[in-house]
Amino acid sequence: MHIGIIGAGPAGMTAAYDLVKAGHQVTIFEAGDRVGGLAAGFKDEGWDWQLEKFYHHWFQSDHDILNLIAELGLSDQVLFPRPKTSMWSRGKIFPFDNVRAWLSFPHLPLIPKVRFGLTGLYMRLTRNWQQMEKYTAQEWLIRYMGKDAYETLWRPMLIGKFGDLYNQVTMAWFWARIYTRTVNLGTFVGGFQKFLDTFAQKLIEMGVTIRFNAPVQNVRREGSQLQATANGETLTFDAVISTTSPLALLKIAPDIPSPYTDQLRKLRSMGAVVLVVALDRQFMTDGTYWLNLPASSPDKSKSDFPFLALVEHTNYMDRAHYGGDHLLYLGDYVPADHEYFKLSENELADRFIGALAKVRPDFKREWIRRWWLYRAPYAQPIPEVNHSRNIPDLATPIKGLYLASMSQIYPWDRGTNYAVMLGHQVAQRVQQDANKAS
């Protein structure tokens, strides 16, 4: 078969890898000028390594991507240090990544701490997420962990992640976040982009065609085949896999009938906004890599911080890889129609940078060498109660057209590992359907 793939992120590249190994011809259309999607990176002058725009690390439980790396013979390029994760509470930073740190956390009484620990242990041991998806995270956590622990620790984090919809998110999603966590966090020598570029070169050597700066405008069925149009050129395929967002698929394939289209329109998601700041000195001198910033209100103007997480990348990876820069991520999730997508880059940067003095009262803008702003309107699916009923099939009603988006990896959270998992799944489905048809 000749198979077209829309999007050169980890899902599309993995699907291409499986399909070309099975003897099929594959063409990937990528709207940008490089592979990677949300996992892509960038590089400033003087840096040896590239830096991720949105994603930050892997977990040791990320078997799909780690197995793929091993198959490509690149496991020796994977690093798994143990950085420090902390919590911001009442104006101070508190370590929060081990049992001793939890027990010494001063803003939660002993009994709620014990319930917090036992409930967390249960979530680490059980795989019965199907029972949990009947409940919101809020109601399940209050019932089993207690209101004190929920209000102090998890409600602020859910608000920061999902805004006004924080109390509608299913417990199954929350379970998946806890179940897969590891304290050691992984990356690739040279950054995620280095791995993705190496993977892309391998695909090209295997015969895959990657067309850059080629956004697909239209996909339609003509007789027994599908036609995809990009940059005014139309190519014919036996099957097409879209790894774009569900709404993007609706735009490029308007012939998809309902009720599948209704299902796609009901899927909700958040966008991501990330400001990367290069400083001339260390910011969190206690060595914290990831600082969770609890949100007190879905209204960003009413919370202590205008963003969800403060991440000092160079407290995780040596700053020597980045020309000596100390690198901060200021990241947040907001709806695609939020003002963060409408403000100018300078306006949004000023708002985010202005909050840094709350963590470091001595902070001065003169410490900043440079900053970069990245925004993605489709970055975090919102899974609601009984969400498994809402997941669209990989195969659309148009024969030969498939959707493989992060909205279909539930109950798992978005990330490169589950993009690889999804790439394997959709490649297998394409071949299964073809075998049935023959």
Tens digit of pLDDT for each residue in 93-152? 999 998 888 889 999 999 999 999 999 999 999 999 999 999 999 999 999 999 999 999
Q: What's the confidence (pLDDT) of residue 296?
A: 85
Query: What pTM does this model have?
Result: 0.95
| Residues 365-378, mean pLDDT to the nearest whole number | 97
What pLDDT shows up at residue 98? Answer: 87
User: Tokens 């063409």, residue?
Assistant: 27
Residue 438 has pLDDT above 80, yes or no: no
Q: What percent of the chain has pLDDT over 70?
A: 100
Q: Is the peptide bond before 411 cis (omega within 30 degrees of 0)?
A: yes
- Decide if 250 contacts 40 (C-beta within 8 A): no
Q: Could you tell me how far CA 252 lies from the centroid of its own chain?
A: 23
Write out pLDDT tens, residues 45-93.
999 999 999 988 999 999 999 999 999 999 999 999 999 999 999 999 9
Instruction: Name the β-bridge partners of 41.
Output: 52
- pLDDT, position 301: 83
Residue type, 417: N
pLDDT of 30 higher than 80: yes
Give the pLDDT score at 188. Answer: 97
Domains contained in the chain, CATH given? 2-33+212-266+391-437 (3.50.50.60), 98-179 (no CATH)
pLDDT of 303 over the 90 cut? no
Tell whether the model's pLDDT for residue 327 goes beyond 90.
yes
Tally the residues of the chain: 438
435 pLDDT more than 90: yes
Residue 177's nearest CA partner among 158, 159, 194, 160 is 158
